[in-house]
Amino acid sequence: MISEQDVIKQVPKKLFIDGQWTTSTSNTTFEVQDPATGKSLCEVADGNDQDALLALDACERAQKSWSKYPPRQRGEILRHGYEQIIERSDYLATLMTLEMGKPFQESKAEIVYAAEFFRWFSEEAVRIDGRFAVAPNGNGRLLTMRQPVGPSLLITPWNFPLAMATRKMGPAIAAGCTMVVKPASLTPLCTLAVTQILQEVGLPEGVLNVITTSSSSKTTKVLFDDPRLRKMSFTGSTEVGRTLMSAASKNVLKISMELGGNAPFLVFEDADLDAAVEGAVIAKMRNIGQACTAANRFHVASSIAKEFSEKLAQRLETMKVGGGLEDGVEVGPLINQDAIDKTKSLVEDAIGKGGQVLTGAKQLDRGGYFYQPTVISNVARDAKVLQEEIFAPVAPIVSFDSEQQAIEMANDTPFGLVAYVFTKDLERSFRVAEELQVGMLGLNQGMVSNPAAPFGGVKLSGIGREGGYEGIDEYLETKYIAMKI
């Protein structure tokens, strides 16, 4: 493993505008912390609205030539980027663990996941097509072509610092769009590192511009006000998403948003109980529970609820909590003190309303922001922990008495990103899958994320899809040509 000091030394800490690493126009910086210690890792350039406009200027200058760049060559840039990410996986995983906190082996898994978006979209770059048809009345021909939407603003979250960047950059590059990327202020380093890789593998100047900033709203407002911006992609909370949708409406931007979740995890009486517990561990504990796809509510058939709860609690009790670079650690820190405070509040509310703690429910007495893996059974239906996105290693469990009740409880939320269902009954699998109001479903497995699959939700969980064949569509517009013959 590369030393922490060498990793931090290697990563760029400036803005990236028009192919150049540069300080902000205000010449200011902000601090990036290690959530395992609460101490500073380094400082990076603190961009502002002037820097954002310079980045958009670069996008505008590069857009015409980039849109005409051969698709195969765009794909080759992504392919080489994929190869370099894999080659530097130890460096990137260490960097990710330092700035975000997840255990090193989990960071390594994210590096592979993130790289796959570049490989997937390198192959999609050459498959952008149109169609030709005879008009129904026979008096002409109908032609369509798909073209890049243009300069795009990509806003990424802190919880998957590399994968959320590549999931947006990949299709934008493949489609021929230039972009301004605004990474989360809590975890900007992985985005800066992958930007350096793309620069090295030959991405033309002006195609990718990165603005790190401590004030996202102030910095990006000028971009939303500028008619040259044509697309916005955001991953984050529904609350912020609503605000950005309003800003995007001024110039009627093409938008895609992956917003909050409140994922139900349904375990029916016929399920393989041990498989359901292992699936629950994956769905709940991946990324320390800090994922929009994390299982938020466990709905378990009454006849097996007690056994499932006890087995899950026993399993979580065995998981080692600590700094992500320590040997054997499976659960890292939460991202900051606000996350700890929110978790405590949700757990206290659940306990106050009759929930029974089977394990955990305490903050660890050490530096950093650590919270014990927690299982709470017999949670009241009105407990806040069932209604709000937890973003912590806390598993609240409620029971149900019938299939229909399980479906109604699962759908009783304004969110609809993902759900998990464990059952051996094939007919039930399809019935429940059709009834659940979500964009994704894990059937007898605790993970749905895959670069080759469309990622996204319904209701307050978002608009559009990322990944899969559908992912590149978010960066293309369809032009129709009526041809007289």
Token readout for 483 is 């041809």
Are 394 and 273 part of one and the same domain?
yes
Contact 186/484 with Cβ under 8 angstroms?
no
Residues 253-282 have a mean pLDDT of 98
Number of domains in the chain: 2
Are 172 and 308 part of one and the same domain?
no
DSSP-assigned letter for residue 320: P
Distance of alpha carbon 444 from alpha carbon 46, whole angstroms: 45
Q: Which of 99, 84, 2 has the alpha carbon at shortest distance from 44?
A: 99
Distance of alpha carbon 98 from alpha carbon 225, whole angstroms: 36
Are 309 and 282 part of one and the same domain?
yes
* CATH number of the domain encompassing residue 428: 3.40.309.10
Are 233 and 281 part of one and the same domain?
no
Are 109 and 153 part of one and the same domain?
yes
Contact 114/166 with Cβ under 8 angstroms?
yes
Give the percent of the chain with pLDDT over 90.
98
Which residue in 292, 330, 389, 403 is the catalytic one? 292
Are 32 and 96 part of one and the same domain?
yes
Q: Which residue has the tokens 């479903």?
A: 441
Distance of alpha carbon 473 from alpha carbon 485, whole angstroms: 30
What separation, in Å, do the N-terminal and C-terminal C-alpha atoms of the chain show?
66
* CATH number of the domain encompassing residue 235: 3.40.605.10
pLDDT in tens, 115-167: 999 999 999 999 999 999 999 999 999 999 999 999 999 999 999 999 999 99
pLDDT in tens, 353-390: 999 999 999 999 888 999 999 999 999 999 999 999 99
Phi, psi of 193 (to 5 degrees): -65, -45
Would you say how long the chain is, in residues?
485
Q: Is the model's pTM score more than 0.95? A: yes
Give the percent of the chain with pLDDT over 70.
100
292 is catalytic: yes
Phi-psi region of 100 (alpha: psi -120 to 50; beta: other; left: phi over 0): alpha
Range of the domain at 423: 263-453
pLDDT in tens, 6-40: 999 999 999 999 999 999 999 999 999 999 999 99
Question: What pLDDT is recorded for position 3?
Answer: 87
pLDDT in tens, 187-246: 999 999 999 999 999 999 999 999 999 999 999 999 999 999 999 999 999 999 999 999
Contact 146/125 with Cβ under 8 angstroms?
no
Average pLDDT, the chain: 97
* Angle CA 397–403–408, to nearest 5: 70
4 is catalytic: no
Are 70 and 194 part of one and the same domain?
yes
Are 112 and 208 part of one and the same domain?
yes
Are 467 and 386 part of one and the same domain?
no
Instruction: Evaluate if residue 1 carries a pLDDT over 80.
Output: no
Which residue in 99, 258, 330, 466 is the catalytic one? 258
Contact 231/63 with Cβ under 8 angstroms?
no
pLDDT tier for residue 247 given thresholds of 50, 70 and 90: very high
Are 229 and 307 part of one and the same domain?
no
Q: Which residue has the higher pLDDT, 4 or 186?
A: 186
pLDDT in tens, 443-465: 999 999 999 999 999 999 999 99
Are 391 and 355 part of one and the same domain?
yes
Are 416 and 475 part of one and the same domain?
no
Distance of alpha carbon 107 from alpha carbon 172, whole angstroms: 24
